[in-house]
Each structure stands twice: as structure tokens, then as C-alpha cells.
Amino acid sequence: MQYPNIFKEGKIGNLKLKNRIVMPPMGTNLAGPEGEVTDQLLAYYEERAKGGTGLIIVEFTCIDYEYGKGFVRQLRLDDDRFIPGINALANSVHNYGAKVFVQIHHAGRQSNSLLIGGKQIVAPSRIACATVGEEPRELSTAEVKELVNKFVQTAIRCKQAGIDGVEVHAAHGYLINQFLSPEANFRTDEYGGSFRNRMRFIEEIIAGIKEKCGDDYPVTVRINVDDFTKGGIDLQLGKDICRYLEKLGVDGLHVSCGTYDSMDRIIESPLFEQGWRVYLAEEIKKDVTIPVITVGSIREPQFVENILAEGKADFVAIGRGLIADPEWVNKTMEGRETEIRKCINCLHCLHSVTGNAHILCSINARAGRELEFKEMKHLSSDEKRHVVIVGGGPGGMEAARNLSLKGYDVTLFEKGSQLGGQLHLVTDPTYKEKMTWHIQYLEHEMKRLKIDVRMNTEATVEEIKSIQPYAVFLATGGRPKLPQVEGHDLDHVYTYEEVKLQEKVFTNNKVTVVGSGMICHGTTRRLAEAGNEVTYVEIPTKASKRIGAETRLRLLNKLRSVNVNIITGHQVVKILSDRIIVEDLVSRKRTELETEFIVVAMGVEAYNPLEETVREQIENVFVLGDAAGYASLGDATRDAFEKAYFLESLVTDREEVVSI
């Protein structure tokens, strides 16, 4: 076997696991309005169990819905009436040979008053989380003891529901992390002050669980070994905490880092290298003998195998990688690594759940919708249907992939010399590698499914008609959007595409870049590194709205490191031959910036030259992705998947259906 360490049996406590891959807890918003298990939540976890995962740790589950809630639709187990739903979840995972833990959780000061019915949030001390911005009420000693009991009672319910073990959430800035952190705990009672007193809350929780559930019932702890905040837990203190937890009888440590005030260390942007925080688990592994789980942007099977072979951890958690591809484990075991749809860290899943939607994925349209798209309808053996797709970007290839899986003969026309469309325009080295993963996955699918891909071929209506297609999908993409101001059409104004594709090369020039988003930042940095004097005028775009505050700050700091002059909060008013005029959005003060060249990176607008003429001669025509006005990879993937999935219901030559 190519990956012997991944598929070696493992143990946490006395519990045997069939492999070393763990699905870590990740909030989904798939629970019901009262925090109950739903059919869709069951389908989501069942899909990952069916995909071969050894241990699934169910998303953070509330032990105190009155004050401890951390999500709009957070799973809960603070009452016996929720046991049947959790039992159904356990059964659905066990059906595929996987084991399942539940992560038990209280948000503390990282809740907010809107989530808990307008009440004041609670914490060890009256110190606000800067990101939340609400001052908490300090818990009384009696309340702390009652919370210990609530954690223990929730663990008892887990065992009653057939759950194999519990994970105590002591990381990511939530309540237990707050008790452990010198930055958040200024109590003067038995739960604050000294290291031992700060440990007392979690110590009593673990002791209570072990007493009530038995020493043989596995208990792991999700633990921060570095908060990455001033005055919080650092690696040395984290090691002290982990050694203490081992003495308390904890069966495993799930090593993590970051709080809401350092959110980009919890859920990493594309700018982070694969496995960047494995070193934290490696350090803890040196100090304890119980199993250690590592986590954090780990995507490739060989990378996982190396971690295990080198003894840096005992188990590896694949989080967003299992959202993107639930079959990650099975594909690895079967030698189908090139078929793995690797997560690209785009944060689409995070933005969906924090926007109060359920979990979604930019490259897996079924994520969070497994119940809706349970089975793919296949053509019958006597049906022979041909579909034409124009455009080899991610939307076009996703449509081709799914139509081929349904049994269609697919011909894809790509006018250029490479597949992938706009994904090739990302230039940040770390992010580009991840985008290249997705391009390679889709390209491999085109070959694996034997799709007729015609490169360097611009489709014509006559050529499309000659194939006599059942349907035509137009995925011709978009073209760069220009600011609609005077001077936008002057000769010294270029688009980001012209720069990235090397149609225009700048060296030692004074260049102004206008726009925002990942591609814009990459273009700006590339121009500065080429020796140009660069000014970046940040103009809000659709692409910029998909970048979180922490990621934006990191991007701006990258630009400052290469001496880019940054101007935010302005709009472009006018472009002249030797300067650009911008206006402050608040004061309306105008500034003239001298420049030799202007590069615009404000996103794309639909490019769809064929639709009108194709529709005149062919009935079933569908427009996808950027060509349909979408502006993100997630939208393009979803649009392509849905139209391919529902094609037979969308065509115009189906028999008329009469409602009765």
C-alpha cells in the first residue's frame, strides 16, 4: 500500500479506529431552528462516513442554549429531547465503519446578545473579545460549577445516544479557552489566578465526565497551544496545559490555535502554506504520550503520510478537504489521488455559515445539499444524446463532468490553448498552487471521462449545429470591467488580464492600479516587484466582498512590504493622459495622482457573443458562470452543476405537464 501510515489502525483510549484520518468539527448551520438534528445534517455526515473517514467529530454542540450559543443554528444536546437525533446521527456514521465523537461547547464571550435573546453574554471575567465588541458579565462561582455539570450532563447524553466519545472544546477563544488564558481570566476565586486555578474548570469537567461515563469512555480535548493574541496562551504555556491534561486522564489532544481576534489562524485563507501549523502538534507530541491530532490546511495524501511517518502527530484532521471531497479517504486508499477535489482555502464555506446560510463549498456544489442531490439521473441505455459546451473554464468543465457522468456524449470547445479560464490569472504563489490543484482536477476529469475536448477552437454556430446537440451550454466567461468614467478608454489604461498574460510588461514605470480582490492584489504586488513605482487605489468590487477582514489586512501588509502606496476609501472620478483623479468617499476631497500607466482590476462583466445567434437555430441553450453574470468560482460551479443535474427538466422539447 502506498500510504501505510494513513491506513494503519489507530486507537484513542480503548477505541479502535480503522485509519488515521479525522474529520474535525466544523459548524454547518444544518441543524434545525431549535438546534435539533435534521435529515440534511444526517446526510452531510453520512456522506463523509461513506467516504472512508476513520473518526468524525461532530460540529460544536451547545451545552447551554441560554448563554452558550455560538451559531444561529447550532447543534445542541443540553436536554434529553435531543438524544434521539444524536442517536440517529451516530447510527448513520456507524453504518460505514466510522467512529463518531461529539464536540461539547460553550461560546462564552464569543457569543453575542443577538444569539442569546438580547441577554448579556457571560465569561470568566468582564473582558470583551475585541472582535465581538460586547462586554460580558462575569460568571459567579456557583454558575461556573453549574456549567461544569452541564458539560458533564451533555457528555452523558452523548454516551446514551451511542456516540463513541466526546471532545471538550477548549480552543479558539471559547469559554474553556477563556478560563485557561491569562488574557481573559482575571478571577479571584478558585477558578482564576494561578495556573492550577485557571485549569480547575476543565479539570472538573474531565473528572466529572470520567466519573459518570467511565474511565474507558474516550475524552479528547480540542486545545489551543497558541492563541496568537497579546497576553494569551503561547506555545510554552500551551505545552504546560497539555502535560497537565494528560495527567488528568485525557485520551487525546486535538492541537489547534487562534481565537476570534486571530481568526485567520483558525480558518486559514489561501495565503497560508499547506500544513503550516503542524509544528504545533509536533511540539506537543514531544511532551505527551497520549495520541495527538494535527490539523490545518492539510490537503494532499503524501503530505499526510509524511506527517505520520515522521512522528509529528498520531492522527491528521482533514476538515475543509472533506467538505470539498467527502471521498478523500476512499480515493486515497484506492490509488485515485488525481481524482481528489482538493480544497483551495477560498473561505466560501466560512462566508456562507457566517452569513447565516448553511455550509456551502465553491468547488463541491453538493456540500450541505446532499439530501437534495442524492442520486444522479442516468440516461437509459437506448438513449444517445450529445451536448456541446463552449468554454473550458471551471463552469464549463464542471458541466461537462456531470453531464458525462449522466451518460451524455460531451464536446467541449475552448478557443485558447489551456483549460481553466480565469483561475490562471491568480498570481500569489501560495494561492496559485491551490488554484492549480483545481484546474488539474478538472483537466483530469476531462481525460478520465473521455470528454471530447477541442482546444484552440473557437466554436461557430455551424460547427455546433453539425453535432446536432440535445443542448448547448455557453460558458464563454467574462471580460475585465472598466470604470465608467471619462478617460477609461485612453491608450495608457490596461486591464489586469493584459498584465497577467504578459501582453503588457511594465518595468521602472509609475503605475496606478485601480480595483480590489485577490487578483488585483496579486497584480499590484507583481508590478511592484518588477521595479515599478506603484500606487494602489482600492475600489470595492464583488470580489473584494469575498475577502475577510484578516485576509485583507494580510494582503495590504504584503503590498506595504514591497513599497506600494495604498489609497483606500476613494473612487475614480476621471482619467487623464498623465494623471488620475480620485475622490475621498467621505470628505469628497479630490486628489490628482501623477501616473504613466493605469491598470484596472475591478472584476469581470459577462462576455456572451454567441447566445443570440445560437438561440435562433437551437432550442435548448443555457448560459453558465461569468457569461451569465456570475462573478465567483462558487457561483460558476453551482450554476454548472445544477443545470447539468436538472437538464432533462429544463429542456424545451419535453412533454407538456398539466397540473391538476
- Active-site annotation holder among 3, 44, 45, 174: 174
- Sign of the alpha-carbon torsion through 452, 456, 459, 463: negative
* Cα dihedral 431, 433, 435, 436 in deg (nearest 10): 160
Q: Which of 205, 176, 177, 201 is nearest to 191 (CA)?
A: 201
Of the candidates 453, 437, 472, the one whose C-alpha atom is nearest the C-alpha of residue 300 is 437
What CA–CA distance (Å, rounded) separates 27 from 358? 9
**φ, ψ for residue 530, nearest 5 deg:** -85, 5
Distances (CA, A) of 562 to 443, 514, 531: 35, 17, 9
Give the torsion through C-alpha atoms of 543, 545, 549, 552, to 10 deg: 20
* DSSP summary character for residue 578: S
* Beta bridge mates, 538: 515
Residues 6+ apart with CB under 8 A from 377: 406, 645, 648
DSSP 273: P
Helices (H), 286-393: 301-309, 320-324, 328-333, 348-354
In the 8-state DSSP scheme, what is residue 626? G
H helix count then E strand count, the chain = 21, 27
**What is the chain's length?**
660
| Cα separation values, 612 from 235, 468, 623, Å | 62, 18, 11
174 in catalytic set: yes
CA distance 264 to 555: 12
Which segments within 74-179 are labelled E, that is strand? Answer: 99-105, 122-123, 137-138, 165-170
Where does 544-608 show beta strands of DSSP type E?
Answer: 565-567, 570-575, 579-584, 590-594, 597-601, 604-606
The distance from CA 190 to its chain's CA centroid, rounded to whole angstroms, is 40
In 3-state terms, what secondary structure has residue 212? helix
Q: Which helix (H) or strand (E) holds 19?
A: none
Query: Using CA atoms, how far apart are residues 77 and 31, in angstroms rounded to an integer?
Result: 12
Contacts 24+ apart (CB under 8 A), 612-615: 613/461, 614/461, 614/464, 614/472, 614/474
The answer to whether 125 and 192 are in contact (CB under 8 A) is yes
Give the residue from 308, 316, 370 showing the smallest Cα distance to 53: 316
Alpha helices of 257-407 — where are they, by DSSP H?
Answer: 278-285, 301-309, 320-324, 328-333, 348-354, 394-405
Can you spell out the DSSP letters for 118-143? TPPPEESSS---TTT--PPEEPPHHH
The continuous run of DSSP H or E covering 443 comes out as helix 429-448
Please state whether beta strands 315-317 and 292-294 pair in parallel, antiparallel, or not at all (unpaired): parallel
Active-site positions read 174
